[in-house]
Amino acid sequence: MVSTATIVSMFVPIVFAFVLFIGLILYYRKKADIAVKPLIAGALGFVVFTQVLEKVLHLAVVTAFPNYADHPWLFGLYGGMAAGIFEELGRFLLFTWLLKKSHDYKGGISFGVGWGGIEAVLLMLMMIVPNILFAMMMNSGTLEKTLAGQIPTDQIAAIKETVLNNGVSFYLLACVERFFAAFIQIAFSLWVLIAVVKKKIVYVIYAILIHAAFDFPLVFAQTDDFTNLWVVELYVAIGGLIAFWLIKKARGSLQ
């Protein structure tokens, strides 16, 4: 049985993600006079480059290497590089081709809020809504009957174990992670915009490598070799604090 407290806590990060997205828009509307076009471009860019194009690559890789989880270091390296390449090149292409009139601090902030805000909303919905449904089916005793014939028995057992092991703290910490991750995405957006404005492609390469290096342990943590959630969240929080500093510093490079 999944406790009522755990099920209730599952809804918290979903609500938080929507509040965070709206809150970022309202906050930067006052601080940076947020612009609509780059905001929408950032949101759509995240969907296209990470949820469509990057997912196609992941599907191909997982199909070709079904035992990828047995090689956590390679898995982490691949995941980090894929995220860095698709996200940073995606930003670069959008700023270069679609947002030629938004090469200022306002445009960079707006784009980053769209990218990071929609990421928070979509990831929380995709990750947690299935868990809510699984938890309800487990409590009603219909999980095995509903999923039988659709997925292997060992995967059903893995789903049950995951839902039972993810307690209240897991879902509450997801709020903290999404908060800092949103500002990290804003910082990366500003960094790539500076690369476009200064015409220094090497900055984009730096962004790809930094993004890959940052994501490597997060992807690595998805394997059984590393499961300390608190260390992962602390790592993301440190990245978020650095992002706060970079966001402020970028104002001087973008007028």
pLDDT in tens, 109-163: 999 999 999 999 999 999 999 999 999 999 888 888 888 778 888 888 888 888 8
Structure confidence by residue, pLDDT tens digits, 99-108: 999 999 999 9
Reported as half-sphere exposure (CB side, CA atoms, 13 A), residue 233 has a value of 14
Q: H or E element: which one contains 187?
A: helix 168-198
pLDDT per position as a tens digit, 164-205: 888 899 999 999 999 999 999 999 999 999 999 999 999 999
CA–CA gap between residue 148 and residue 142 (Å, rounded): 10
The one-letter amino acid at 132: I
Cβ atoms of 123 and 51 within 8 Å: the answer is no
HSE-CB at 63 with a 13 A cutoff on CA atoms is 6
pTM for the structure as a whole? 0.93
